[in-house]
Amino acid sequence: MSIVLACDLGGTSFRAALVDDTGAVRAQHAIAGPVSRDDRSGASEIEPDAWWSLLVETCAGLAAEAPALFEAIEAVAICGVTRTQIFLDRDGNSLRPAMTWKDTRADACAARLRERLGTAHPESAAVNAFHPLARLAWLREQEPEVFGRLACLLEPKDYLNFRLTGRRASDRVSLARLLAAASPHGSHDLLAAAGIPVTILPEMLEPWEQVAPVQPGLPAPLDRLAGKPVFCASNDTWAAVVGLGAMRDGFAYNISGTTEVLGVVGREPARAEGLLTVDWRGLFQLGGPSQTGADTVSWLLALLGRDDSAVGQEIDALLAAPRQPQPLLFLPYLQGERVPYWDPSLRSALVGLNRRHGPTDLAFAVLEGVACLNRIVLERAEAAIGRAATEIRFGGGAAANPVWSQIKADLCGRPVVVAASREPGLLGAAIIAFAGLGRFASLADAQQALVSVARRFEPDQARKPAYDALYTLFRRAEDALAPISRDLVAAAQNGGTLADLARHASAIASLHAD
């Protein structure tokens, strides 16, 4: 029996597991991740050392729970959140807090970049507040002293690999957008045009390639892993798609964690408005990450005064009650949106609320709103590829809820298949490690051997007319309310009368509290 250490650095937690070569999790430990420091400017930051502390603490939990298995670890693979930048100096020290996937401060800088760069380079249109090129340009503009000392840019999982091995490396999936910007197109090089030196890029490896062995002298219990190979792995989406068994031509995937990611996998590259095309090393994905997901459900539970630390139980209870005949529409853009709109100024709305609606109606509206967004991405991807997806492999916390799985199947009109593994990111990381160790002939063979299916949800044709009508109304509501969202956000950012009114209300509330 072989054992590998698989880790998944998520948006709100860090999970690690000891996985054997049948795909079985023999021990698992999870702890809450560091809370990002967010403010009204659009900042969202985390100290990189906080992620390193999570790795040490989580491994300590595993070593205490299963000491013999921990000693048997043969390799390490870590997947993690993407669209998050860590800035290192030449000695490998962090220069400033990491900018997380939620950070929108580069929005104005991105707009100026797009205008200046024009459309000659194919990546220009993709430059937005979440693009690493815009983040680097913002750093160069706003923090020139830090930018001047910048020697290397890493993503969180790459930073942990660096701390484990001493080698600065990444993979072409995780850094796809930055590599696209750095790739010359004719006489155009976006990185050079933005004044960003190409030397900040780390070495590029395949996800299943070894970074280096674990170096000696690390804090316990990582010191017991010295000499064990660390594999590069990739971002959490890529690893989870492997763990769902969806890294196959014609499959779609939907990973629902704190936020959601949906895409279609094919053999040829295709492009669609607002979607990301990424070379997944032999296959191509068309889709990308949203800002909605389980965090949207947590927001609803907190709003209703329910226990948002027990999301699964609470949402099950809400969905079990009867709902009103008139449905609600929910636009799920609490934090703006990435795919397919790339607009940090979009905001949520409940449309059609009446006096008889209650918590159950709100719960269904939230789940259906997220599923409507899934359908938008799916339709754009399928139209670009020229065929329908065979099925949607569904994973993450929300996949445990059969009602949500059925809603997605009904609204998207595709079978939704839930994998047996409750932690596809961890299984995907383990598959990467076993492929890297040579236990299987290829990553595809490892995926085929270690992934199994738990349940399949077929679209209910009886619900199709109602859900098609709801989807049409959802699209109309989006078009009507998007300009109002942007005006509200602009008023708050510019200190206008609406912002003054909000501050006045907050001051009155403080007086009453005193």
- Mean pLDDT for 166-183 is 95
At 312 the pLDDT is 87
* Cβ neighbours around 185 below 10 Å, total: 14
Q: Are 426 and 25 in contact (CB under 8 A)?
A: yes
Predicted confidence (pLDDT) per residue in 423-463, tens digit: 999 999 999 999 999 999 999 999 999 999 999 999 999 99
Q: Are 451 and 245 in contact (CB under 8 A)?
A: yes
Question: How far is C-alpha 62 from the chain's CA centre?
Answer: 25
- Mean pLDDT for 343-358 is 96
Residue 81: HSE in the Cβ half-sphere, 13 Å Cα cutoff:
27
- Mean pLDDT for 87-113 is 96
Q: Are 157 and 80 in contact (CB under 8 A)?
A: yes
* Cβ neighbours around 189 below 10 Å, total: 16
- Mean pLDDT for 242-261 is 94
Q: For the packed helices 464-493 and 359-385, what is the interaxial angle rounded to 10 degrees? A: 100
Length of the chain: 514
Three state DSSP letters for 317-356: HHHHCCCCCCCCEEECCECEECCCCCECCCCCEEECCCCC
Q: Are 446 and 439 in contact (CB under 8 A)?
A: yes
Q: Is the pLDDT of residue 396 over 60?
A: yes
Show the domains of the chain with their CATH numbers. 3-234 (3.30.420.40), 246-514 (3.30.420.40)
Predicted confidence (pLDDT) per residue in 74-94, tens digit: 999 999 998 999 999 999 999
Query: Could you tell me the pLDDT band of residue 512, with boundaries at 50, 70 and 90?
Result: low
Predicted confidence (pLDDT) per residue in 203-231, tens digit: 999 999 999 999 999 999 999 999 999 99
Q: Is the pLDDT of residue 510 over 70?
A: no
pTM summary value: 0.88
Query: Could you tell me the pLDDT band of residue 130, with boundaries at 50, 70 and 90?
Result: very high
At 186 the pLDDT is 80
At 30 the pLDDT is 96
Q: Are 399 and 289 in contact (CB under 8 A)?
A: no
- Mean pLDDT for 372-380 is 98
Predicted confidence (pLDDT) per residue in 252-302, tens digit: 999 998 889 999 999 999 999 999 999 999 899 999 999 988 889 999 999
User: In the block, which residue shows the tokens 């939990």?
Assistant: 61
Q: Is the pLDDT of residue 496 over 70?
A: no
Q: Is the pLDDT of residue 374 over 90?
A: yes
Q: 14-23, 301-310, 457-466 — which is least confidently predicted? A: 301-310
- Write the CB contacts of 305 (distance below 8 Å, at least 6 apart in sequence): none
Which helix (H) or strand (E) covers residue 265, if one does?
strand 260-266
At 189 the pLDDT is 84
Predicted confidence (pLDDT) per residue in 473-482, tens digit: 999 999 999 9
Q: Is the pLDDT of residue 196 over 70?
A: yes
Q: Is the pLDDT of residue 500 over 80?
A: no
Q: Is 281 left (phi over 0), alpha (psi -120 to 50) or beta?
A: left
- Mean pLDDT for 365-387 is 97
At 18 the pLDDT is 98
Q: What percent of the chain has pLDDT over 90?
A: 86
- Mean pLDDT for 322-347 is 95
Q: Is the pLDDT of residue 503 over 70?
A: no
What is the pLDDT of the chain when averaged over all its residues? Answer: 94
Q: Is the pLDDT of residue 320 over 80?
A: yes
Q: Is the pLDDT of residue 468 over 70?
A: yes
Q: What percent of the chain has pLDDT over 70?
A: 96
Q: Are 164 and 175 in contact (CB under 8 A)?
A: no
Provide the β-strand partners of residue 3: 20, 73
Query: Could you tell me the pLDDT band of residue 25, with boundaries at 50, 70 and 90?
Result: very high
Predicted confidence (pLDDT) per residue in 144-161, tens digit: 999 999 999 999 999 999
